[in-house]
Structure 1
Amino acid sequence: MKATEVPEIAGAYLFEPTPYADERGFFSRTFDVDVVRSVGLDPYAFVQDSLSRSVRGVLRGLHLRSGEGEAKLVRCSYGRIFDVVVDLRPDSPTYRNVATFHLSDETQTTLYIPAGCAHGFQALTETADTSYRIDRPHDPTEDVTIVFDDPELAIPWPLPVTSMSQRDREAPSLAEVLKHQEK
Structure 2
Amino acid sequence: MRIEQTELADVLELIPRPFHDDRGLFTRTFDAEIFDERLGVPGASASFVQDSQSRSARGVIRGMHGRSGRGEAKLVRCANGAVHDVLVDIRPGSPTFGRTQAFRLDDIEFRHLYVPPGFLHGFQALTATADVCYRIDRPHDPAEDIAVAHDDADLGIEWPLPLTAISPRDAAAGSWEHLLRIVWQGRRG
Fold shared per TM-score above 0.5: yes
Shorter chain as normaliser: what TM range? over 0.9
Structure 2's unaligned 5+ residue stretches are none
Say if 2:146 is the partner of 1:144. Answer: yes
Q: Identity of paired residues, percent?
A: 49
Question: What is the alpha-carbon distance in structure 2 between the residues aligned to residue 144 and residue 163 of structure 1?
Answer: 20
TM-score (norm 1): 0.98
Q: Could you tell me the TM-score, scaled by structure 2's length?
A: 0.95
| SS in structure 2 of the partner of residue 148 of structure 1 | coil
Give deviations 1:124-173, integer Å, cap 9, x for gaps: 00010000000110011111010000111110100111001101001110
Displacement after TM superposition at 1:177 (Å): 1.3
Calculate the aligned-residue CA RMSD, in Å. 0.7
Q: What residue is the counterpart of 1:28 in the other structure?
A: 27
Which residue number corresponds to residue 16 of structure 2?
17
2 CA distance for matches of 1:105 and 1:155? Answer: 23
1:175 Cα deviation after fit: 0.5
Deviation at 1:114, TM superposition (A): 1.1
Decide which of 86, 106, 129 is 1:84's aligned counterpart.
Answer: 86
> 1:67 maps to which residue?
69
Aligned counterparts of 2:34 and 2:122: Cα–Cα separation in 1: 25
Partners in 2 of 1:156 and 1:38 — Cα distance? 34
CA distance in 1, matches of 2:167, 2:134: 18
Specify the alignment match of 1:37 in structure 2. Answer: 36
1:55-107, CA deviations, whole angstroms, 9 ceiling, x for partnerless residues?
00000000000100011100000000000000000021111110000100001
How far off its partner does 1:43 sit? 0.4
Match of 1:5 in 2: 5
Count of residue pairs brought into register by the alignment: 182
| 2:150 match: secondary structure | coil
User: 3-state SS of the aligned residue for 2:146?
Assistant: strand
**1:27 aligned partner, one-letter code:** F
Secondary structure in 2 matching 1:107: coil
Deviation of 1:111 after TM superposition, in Å, equals 0.5
* Alignment map for 1:49-64 (pairs within 5 Å): 49-64=51-66
**Given residue 22 of structure 1, which amino acid in structure 2 is its aligned partner?**
D
Q: Counterparts of 2:86 and 2:149 in 1: how far apart (Å)? A: 13
CA distance in 2, matches of 1:172, 1:95: 18
- After TM superposition, the runs of 4+ consecutive aligned structure 1 residues lying more than 3 A away are none
Structure 1: state its 5+ residue gaps.
none
Match of 1:164, as an amino acid? I
Q: Secondary structure at the match of 1:119?
A: strand
**Match of residue 107, structure 2, among 105, 109, 116:** 105
